A and B are shown apart, each in its own frame.
Chain A
Amino acid sequence: MNTVGETTKTIHPLVAKYLRPERMPHMACPGCGIGQVVHSVLLAIDELGLTPQDTVWVQGVGCSSRITYSTWIGDNVDAHHGRIFAVATGLKMARPDMNFILFTGDGDCGAIGGNHFIHACRRNLDVTAILFNNGIYGMTGGQVAPTSPVGALTTTTPYGNLEDPFDMCQMAVAAGASYVARWMVTDFKPLVSSIKKGIQTKGLAFIEVLLQCPTNFGRYVLKTSAPQEVLKWIKEHCLSMKQAEKLPQEKLAGKYLLGEFIYRPERTGIVERYQEFLQKHRKE
């Protein structure tokens, strides 16, 4: 049996540098894409030189959050289901000098926390939110999500999903976020650059990552437990912005647009505005 010390010698250097050895290995299912996203986040953190002293990891509830919670060697704040943006608002307003990286899921952000998500975008809260979109409720065992495809067979849609999926990137753009992008988990380089850009952007950066959940999305929706099959399905349903431009609207149904939806670094947000406001109104 490995001791903690021995484990750290064999694990990835970014993990050894930024994650808590006693929290490794994490609890993701075999073939899950969450580890790949965490890898991208750690690389972005490393390349930007963020430290455990100036950066907090914030989670909600769901696979994205339960697996990453309390692994960061700095401070970890995990919210109730859906309340991640409300919690991030309190944290960031209290500590505007610190960086907050949010790990949320499609259920956490798009269903139960939808209202907080909208208003965090409207306030353009200066945080970096990573949306882990696996198209299903993984932690609870394969129930339909607001992002599940039409017709998807899940444990709560045994006759097929009747509802259209929620495009949260479009929502974030409409509500006012400074930076909005979507990538596939295997788009490693653009994803890392995008996370870096998001962290550096003043205002809310919303980065959606489409990732494979072989355990539940694979099993119920695609009838496969092979991660590569789920990735293949995602890839077949993705289009770049350029590809999409050439296609008529009806061909875009059921597709995921990849790339940057908006980048407006000039747009100010609540954190900056409140600091300026305080300088004028403060009497003491």
Chain B
Amino acid sequence: MGSGINPGKYFVQGDEAIAEGAIAAGCRFFAGYPITPSSETSETMARRLPEVGGICLQMEDELASIHAVGAASVGGLKAMTISSGPGISLKLEGLGWGIKNEIPYVVVDIQRAGPSNGVATRVGQGDFYTVRYGSAGGNCSLIALSPKSTQEAFDLTIECFNLSEIFRCPVFLLSDETVGHTRELLIIPEESKLNTVQRIKPTLPPEKFLMYPLDTPGVIHYPFPNIGEGYGICVSPYTHNSKGYASTAQDIQEKMARRLFLKISENLDKLVRVETQKMEDAAFAVIAYGGNARPAIAAADMARENGMRVGFFRPIIVWPFPDGEVLKVAEKANRLLVCELNVDGQLSREVARAARGKAEVFHLGSGGVEPHLPAQIFNEIRRLYK
């Protein structure tokens, strides 16, 4: 299979950049179900994947698409699915199977205004906790990355695939309608400039290899043998021992739960990616993620122009949450203003938790439809700045 990478400069939507990023990362299986505002990714995959020998299917629903994606990965293909809003609710059913069996694949969420169907064509940021805690049963951690631009949509999609192989788990690209539908410059570099992680294969023979490393829970870069490679793998929804055999024993359940959590929480240092601007002397910080980072940065710049010492902070890897980085920001600035497109204060709650009382945390929320305007955020900064 060729790389399928077409280097050059493009003027495209974030949704299309995701598809190009996936193909560049080696994705060769995509299954989806149409849903606004994510359909442009599915359409691009349908056009592009066959060119590189990949498979693109429109399934009967979101459940089928995420399960087919997990299974295709078990079959040896890098795979991705995408959805939004109510479709993500359905995807969560299948996500548990991927988490539980430590299957590498990527799920994209182009967030729209919710709950339920909400406003299908317009932006929202209500899935921050959904992607992290939505899979019933808990006992796991999860990785999610959030882009703010078309270029990042491409770059971070590749990173999602890489992390999914390294950590052997489903990884979320938590985007939103603003990024999904913003048409701007995308530069696709030469293949040699891209870092892509291939599936890690066992070096031990089948009789010695254990499919699930329950006794070394923090281990990453752990191999994933696919079907048909002679390893006699066992994949199932049940709590399993290291071979994949179902078990009801408490010690096995305990080990499996810890494995699914610790492989991420013991490797937090490899999962810190944030953007900071003008934090060196900041007395006040604006915090936002995804597409809503754009008006937040503009507002912070306006505040600087007006003589206020305002910095900006954005988690790029949003899960696991960058507690340490937020604490550093909180130790510098007196007040933190979190701008996000939900009224219940999701990112704000995490920031408040991670700030450990070192700074006052304020929430500028919105139910969505429109992103925040820079002037709106600027007015809030002016009101709260001290």
Contacts and interface: CB of A to CB of B under 8 A. Distances in A.
Q: Is the interface of A mostly helix, strand, loop or mixed?
A: mixed
Given A83-B94, A284-B2, A94 B50 contact: no
Given A70-B244, A77-B71, A93-B72, A283 B57 contact: no
Interface in B38-69: 50-53, 55, 57, 59-61, 63-65, 67-69
A108 to B, nearest CB: 12
B2 A93 contact: no
Contact of A116 (B64, B77, B236): B64
A208 interface: no
A95 B71 CA distance: 10
B245 A94 contact: no
B94 A80 contact: yes
A278 B73 CA distance: 19
Contacts of B60: 115-116, 118-119
Interface stretch (B225-233, B285-293, B298-306): B225-233
B235 A76 contact: yes
A88 B71 contact: yes
B63 A86 contact: yes
B59 A86 contact: yes
Contacts of A91: 71-72, 74-75, 227
B62 to A, nearest CB: 10
Contacts of B64: 83, 85-86, 89, 115-116, 119
Contacts of B245: 22-23, 70
B79 interface: yes
A117 to B, nearest CB: 10
A74 interface: yes
B33 to A, nearest CB: 11
A52 interface: yes
A85 B59 CA distance: 11
A61 B237 CA distance: 9
A188 interface: no
Most A-side CB within 10 Å, residue of B65, B73, B230, B236: B236
A56 interface: yes
A6 B209 CA distance: 25
A86 B227 contact: no
B331 interface: no
Interface string A88-130: 1111011101100000000000000001101100000000000
Interface string A164-193: 000000000000000000000000000000
A94 B75 contact: yes
B234 interface: yes
A204 to B, nearest CB: 14
A80 B67 contact: yes
B184 to A, nearest CB: 27
Nearest 4 A/B pairs, CB to CB:
A94-B75, A284-B2, A90-B71, A78-B236
A69 B246 contact: yes
Given A77-B233, A90-B72, 10 more contacts: A76-B233, A80-B67, A82-B63, A85-B64, A86-B65, A87-B70, A90-B69, A95-B76, A282-B51, A283-B51
A56 B94 contact: no
A270 B57 CA distance: 10
B29 A94 contact: yes
Contacts of B1: 284
Contacts of B75: 90-91, 93-95
B93 A86 contact: no
A88 B79 CA distance: 15
Interface residues of B, number: 49
A228 B365 CA distance: 67
Interface string A246-284: 000000000000000000000000100010011001111
Interface of A: 22-23, 52-54, 56, 59, 61, 66, 69-70, 73-83, 85-91, 93-95, 97-98, 115-116, 118-119, 270, 274, 277-278, 281-284
B238 interface: yes
A279 to B, nearest CB: 10
B214 interface: no
Contacts of B55: 93-94, 274, 278
Nearest to A281: B50
Contacts of B230: 53
Contact of B228 (A53, A66, A85): A53
Contact of B68 (A66, A78, A80, A93): A93
Nearest to B69: A90
Contacts of B118: none
A74 B246 CA distance: 16
20 contacts: A54-B228, A75-B227, A77-B227, A79-B97, A86-B65, A87-B67, A90-B75, A94-B72, A94-B76, A94-B77, A95-B76, A116-B63, A119-B59, A277-B50, A281-B51, A282-B50, A282-B51, A283-B2, A284-B4, A284-B52
Contacts of A277: 50
Most buried by B among A70, A85, A90, A282: A90
Contacts of A74: 232
A242 to B, nearest CB: 36
A201 B97 CA distance: 30
B283 interface: no
B204 to A, nearest CB: 17
